[in-house]
Structures are given as structure tokens and as C-alpha cells.
Amino acid sequence: MPFFKTTQNIFKDNGEFFDPNWMDSDKVVYPPHKKWDYSRELKVEDVNIWEVLGEASHGVYAAWDPYAELYMIVPFNKKDDFEIYYGPGSDTKIAKRMKELNMWVPKHTVWIDEENMWLYPEKKVL
């Protein structure tokens, strides 16, 4: 089951973004999101909701709302700087960094619409 956090949850209160109505279904329910249009660079403060990819010595998060290729790694001590990976190829970079941190890396089949292929330069079209 996926977990979600707001930027405030990550940096301030360590809470979780949760809607009790999600429990009214026998299917996984996701929070609503809109796609980012890439008309400008997306910044951390633009993101309303993050999907939690992993939390161990660091928290690893993917932008959910707006939905974009933006990833963030935040050390739990909050004393070190956080890392940002954005744009084309960032999915590969975040997976590599998670391996370096000895974290489990989620593997999923990715369905990419033709107009978004520029974001995934290393992916092969079947």
C-alpha cells in the first residue's frame, strides 16, 4: 500500500497524508493529482503531496501532486542537506542513489505515453 506525505509532514511534523474515506473501498485509493506541464522547473515548495518510496536512514519521496519526475532524499537527522533529482533520467538517478544508501529500490513496469518519452531517455520502446 502506498503512503503519502505533504512537504510539511516531511520537514516538520513527520505525519502522514491520509484521508479516512480511502478505507471505504476494497481497492487501493490514491490521492488526486494533476500532471506538471514542465513549463518551468518544479521546486520543492510547488509540491503539495509526495509519494513515499522508502524511509530508512533517509526518506525518499516522489512528487505526486503535481505529478512529475521530481524526487527528493531527506536525511532523518535533518541536519544534512536534502537532495533533489528532477527531469529526464531522474528515475534512474534516484534508483542508483537508493542503492548507494542500501535502501530497497521499488521496481515497477512503467507505461510511458509517447509525448513523455523525453523524460525517460534510457528506456527502450518495446
Whether the upstream peptide bond of residue 66 has omega within 30° of 0, thus cis, is yes
**pLDDT for position 124:** 56
**pLDDT for position 116:** 75
- Going by pLDDT thresholds of 50, 70 and 90, the confidence category of residue 79 is low
**Residues 22-76: tens digit of each pLDDT:** 777 788 888 999 999 999 999 999 999 999 999 988 999 999 999 999 999 999 8
pTM: 0.82
Q: Are 93 and 79 in contact (CB under 8 A)?
A: no
Backbone dihedral region of 87: left (phi > 0), alpha (psi from -120 to 50 degrees) or beta? Answer: left
Mean pLDDT over residues 14-26, rounded? 79
Distance CA 73, CA 59 (A): 6
